[in-house]
Amino acid sequence: MQNYDEIIKKELYNTKYGRLFVGDSVELSKSYLCRYYKNKFNLIITSPPFPLNNKKRYGNLQGNEYYEWFIKLAPIFSSLLTDDGSLVIEIGNAWEQGRPVQSLLHLECLLGLVKNQHADLRLIQEFVCYNPSRLPSPAQWVTINRIRTVDSYTHVWWIAKSDFPKADNTKVLRPYSKKMLRLIDKKKFNAGKRPSEHKISQKAFAKNNGGSIAHNLFELETLDPSREVRLPHNVLSFSNSISNDYYLKRCRSDNISPHPARMHSGLVNFFIEFLTRENDLVLDPFAGSNTTGYCAEKLKRKWISIEADSGYAHNSIIRFEEPSFDSKLKVSTHLGGDSVRKQT
C-alpha cells in the first residue's frame, strides 16, 4: 500500500473546494480514499470507460475482462459512500464485435454491480440522456450498410446503499409549460376521476410550486422542434458539441485535443443539486476533463477527482482558468504543470 507522501505526489492541482489526482482510480481508492475517506462521499458521479469494440486513447476494456473489472468497483464504491449517499454512473450501449447486434454487456455490468455480495447496493432509478448530436454509430451498420438506426442515448444509473438516499426533487424543478402557467393563473380545470382511475382534486393545479417535477429523460436537444425544451434550470439545454464552452474554445485556441467522451455539464449539475447540499463531498474516479470537479466547484461542493491519463488531467486545468471563475487554482510543479498538455 502506498504511503501518504507517495499519494500526495499524485495530486496535480487543488482549488478552494477540491483536488485532482493522476493515477489509477482503483489503486488510489484502495490505498488512499478507503483509508482516509471511508463512508465520506455523499455522491460518486462518473462516466467510466465504455466497453467499446475499438480501443480508445482514454482506455477501455472489452468483454468479460470489462465485466470483471466493472463489478469489482462495487465494494470500493460502497465503502466510500455515506449511508445516504448515491452513486450515479453514465454508460453507453455496446455492440457485438463485427455483428449488427446490441451487446448485453452494459446490462450485465449493472446487474453484477448491484448484486455484488460484497457491496450492499441497489438500483434507485434509471435515467436516459438523449443527445441527437452524437455521431451516427455503430457506423458500419448505420451509415454504410444502413440497417440500424443512430444510437443517440446513454443510460444513467442512480444507485445507492439505502432505499432512501439523500435527494430533493424540489432543487431540480423544470420550468412550467405555458399551458400549466395558464392553469395556475385561472385556477380552473377539469377535476375529478380520469379514465386511468387517478383522481384530480380541485386544488391539484392551483398552487405554484416554482416548477414541475423533473423527468428521468434528459433532452439535450428537443425531440419535437414545435415545442420548447423544458429541462431543469441547472441542466444546460445544449449538446456537448456546442462550441461556446470555454473549455472547447481554449482547446481550439491552444491546439489541444479535448477529451473525446466528456460528461455533459448540465447532467452533472442536475445530480449534484438533486442529491447533495453545499459542502457535501463528491467523487469522480474517472474524471476525464474533470467536468465533475468544475461543476462541484461552482456549486460549492467539496470534491476529489482521479484521472489515469496525465495529458487529459493536465488539460482539465483549463476549466479552472475560466476568467469569471475564482477557483484559487494551485498546480503542483512536480507533475510538470502546463508542459505536458497534449497537443493535436
Amino acid at 228: E
Q: Are residues 91 and 206 in the same domain?
A: no
Q: What is the pLDDT of residues 115-126, one digit of tens each?
A: 999 999 999 999
Dist. CA 155–CA 107, nearest whole Å: 10
CATH number (domain holding residue 299)? 3.40.50.150
Is the model's pLDDT at 103 over the cut of 70? yes
Dist. CA 272–CA 270, nearest whole Å: 6
- 170 closest CA partner among 85, 275, 84, 90: 275
Residue 332: half-sphere exposure toward Cβ, Cα within 13 Å: 17
Q: Are residues 229 and 186 in the same domain?
A: no
Q: Are residues 189 and 268 in the same domain?
A: no
The confidence score (pLDDT) of residue 239 equals 43
Q: Lowest mean pLDDT: which of 8-17, 45-54, 72-81, 93-102?
A: 45-54
Q: Are residues 220 and 269 in the same domain?
A: yes
The confidence score (pLDDT) of residue 218 equals 84
Q: What is the pLDDT of residues 31-44, one digit of tens each?
A: 999 999 999 999 99
Domain count, the chain: 2
Average pLDDT, the chain: 84
Q: Are residues 322 and 189 in the same domain?
A: no
Q: 491552444: which residue's cell? A: 254
φ/ψ of 256, rounded to 5, equals: -110, 140
Is the model's pLDDT at 156 over the cut of 70? yes
> How much of the chain, in percent, has pLDDT values that exceed 90?
52
The mean pLDDT of 46-72, rounded to a whole number, is 72
Q: Are residues 197 and 224 in the same domain?
A: no
Q: Are residues 202 and 335 in the same domain?
A: no
Q: Are residues 146 and 281 in the same domain?
A: yes
Q: Are residues 138 and 241 in the same domain?
A: yes
The mean pLDDT of 257-281, rounded to a whole number, is 90
What's this model's pTM, rounded to 2 decimal places?
Answer: 0.87
- Mutual angle of helices 291-298 and 265-275, in 10-degree steps: 50
The mean pLDDT of 261-265, rounded to a whole number, is 83
Max mean pLDDT among 57-66, 193-202, 281-290 falls in: 281-290
Strand partners, 18: 303
Give 111's pLDDT tier (boundaries 50, 70, 90): very high
Q: Are residues 181 and 233 in the same domain?
A: no
- 89 closest CA partner among 136, 43, 39, 135: 43
CB 47 within 8 A of CB 89: yes
Dist. CA 111–CA 155, nearest whole Å: 14
Q: Are residues 121 and 201 in the same domain?
A: no
Q: Are residues 205 and 221 in the same domain?
A: no
Range of the domain at 79: 4-171+214-340
Is the model's pLDDT at 223 over the cut of 80? no
The confidence score (pLDDT) of residue 341 equals 47
DSSP state of 297: H
Is the model's pLDDT at 261 over the cut of 70? yes
